[in-house]
Amino acid sequence: MALAKRIIPCLDVDNGRVVKGVQFVDIRDAGDPVEVAKRYNEEGADEVTFLDITASHEGRDTTVHTVERMASEVFIPLTVGGGIRKIEDIRRMLNAGADKVGINSAAVSDPDFVKAAADRFGAQCIVVAIDAKQVSRPGEPLRWEIFTHGGRKPTGIDAVEWAKRMTAYGAGEILLTSMDRDGTKNGFDLKLTRAISDAVSVPVIASGGVGNLQHLADGVLEGNADAVLAASIFHFGEYSVPEAKQYMRERGIEVRL
């Protein structure tokens, strides 16, 4: 008996609609995040992450409404990230039914925000999202830094030190995305994942670069990740969540089937 490693499909949502296309032929509205989340719930996903990329202020009300609908129909944990900048943003999402919120750039611009958020709501619902990129040159010891603005803006902050600091400030979980690998389908940055996971006491979700099932298993076995997050391999029907779990189990990983 052991804690299962988690598989987490991630939905990018803009103004209440799933973007980057989800291709399930048999659901009524593949653009509706609630329909998509329900499908993943039925397939046995362990959690769902909802990344809100809505730019407009008015669109945020749509997001809250979508989270409410999702929480009424999906009875697995739901994390909402994107645009979380104030205590009030967290309160709204948790009241709407989110179990956890992901804090990304607001943590970089104001690290004390993470402390305040964890004090107010408890570490269990505060996920700090870290976007990291390798900055060491070939031959040098490996080093990664935090980047913001979708990987365009360097901050000079060391990723491993940052993860430790965020954990000390009350992050209950780290969502780690390799900006070098995101969208490449070449697999997670396993060395980065391992470095962060071994440096912190809280669970780490590996993200960025999944192209096949072997990548998911490697994230756990070599990256020491506690959970693996993927979007396109599931959305485009290349692999289903049950297939992913079956494969991980064959590789000796404890999963919830």
Partner 1 sequence: MNRQTLAVIDYGMGNLHSVASALSKVAPEIEVLVTSDPNVVAAADRVVFPGVGAIRDCMAEIRRLGFDQLLREQVASGKPVLGVCVGMQALLERSEENGGVDCIGLLPGQVRFFGPDLKDADGHVLKVPHMGWNQVHHKDHPLWAGIEQDARFYFVHSFYAEATDLDQVAGTCDYGRTFAAAMQQDNLFAAQFHPEKSHTAGLQLLKNFVAWDGKP
The count of other CB atoms within 10 Å of the CB of residue 14 is: 18
CA distance 13 to 19: 6
Near partner 1 by CB under 8 A: residue from 14, 145, 173, 182: 173
Query: In the range 126-155, which residues lie near partner 1 by CB under 8 A?
Result: none
Cα diameter, the chain: 52
Catalytic: 12?
A: yes
Say how far residue 78 (Cα) sits from the centre of its chain.
Answer: 11
Binding flag, residue 122, partner 1 (CB under 8 A): yes
Strand partners, 163: none
Catalytic: 61?
A: no
Shortest spacing between CB 71 and partner 1, in angstroms: 5
Where do we find the tokens 């289903």? 240
What would the x/- binding string for partner 1 be over residues 82 to 121, using CB under 8 A?
A: ------------xxxxxx-------------------x-x
User: What one-character DSSP code corresponds to residue 3?
Assistant: P
Q: Which amino acid is at 46?
A: D
Binding flag, residue 179, partner 1 (CB under 8 A): no
Token representation of residue 63: 């997001």
Point out which residues bind partner 1 (CB under 8 A).
1-6, 41, 46, 68, 71-73, 75-77, 94-99, 119, 121-125, 172-173, 201-204, 226-227, 256
> Hey, which residues are catalytic here?
12, 131
